[in-house]
Amino acid sequence: MGITTDGIEGVALSLAGSALPKYGAIGTGTTAYVSGDTALETETDRNLISTIDVSIPEEITFITDFSPVEVSGLVLTEFGTMSTGSRLYNREVLTGSAVFTGEEELQLQQTFKFYI
């Protein structure tokens, strides 16, 4: 997973208490990640993060749920975490794709690990 420049700045702001990610986003873009990314290439949906887990030291996990209706027909190739507005914390481009037929749910779980 690639952390963007915006993501690094957002983490610094979060430590000051002002910019935790709010959304998990999914899309169909295929262009490789670069640290200067400020958006998903082709965002198809974004939902509020439903769970923030800080139970493991030096890690924070964001979980976002998408219903079968939201992902029906989706060929998922990219995802990321965003704040309110347009701060993109990370962007991941899959080496393949995940195809949804309308019967599956999607739970996006993204873990950020911090090292000293």
Note the pTM of the prediction, 2 decimals: 0.84
Convert 2-21 to b/e letters by CB count within 10 Å (16 or more is b): ebbebbeebbeeeeeeebbb
| Token couple for 6 | 């915006």
pLDDT in tens, 23-76: 999 999 999 999 999 999 999 999 999 998 888 878 889 999 999 999 999 999
Q: To which H or E segment does residue 38 belong?
A: none
**Which letter does DSSP use for residue 4 in this model?**
P
18 pLDDT exceeds 60?
no
Q: Is the separation of the CB atoms in 77 and 29 below 8 Å?
A: yes
- In the chain, the percentage of residues whose pLDDT exceeds 70 is 91
Answer whether residue 86 shows pLDDT above 60: yes
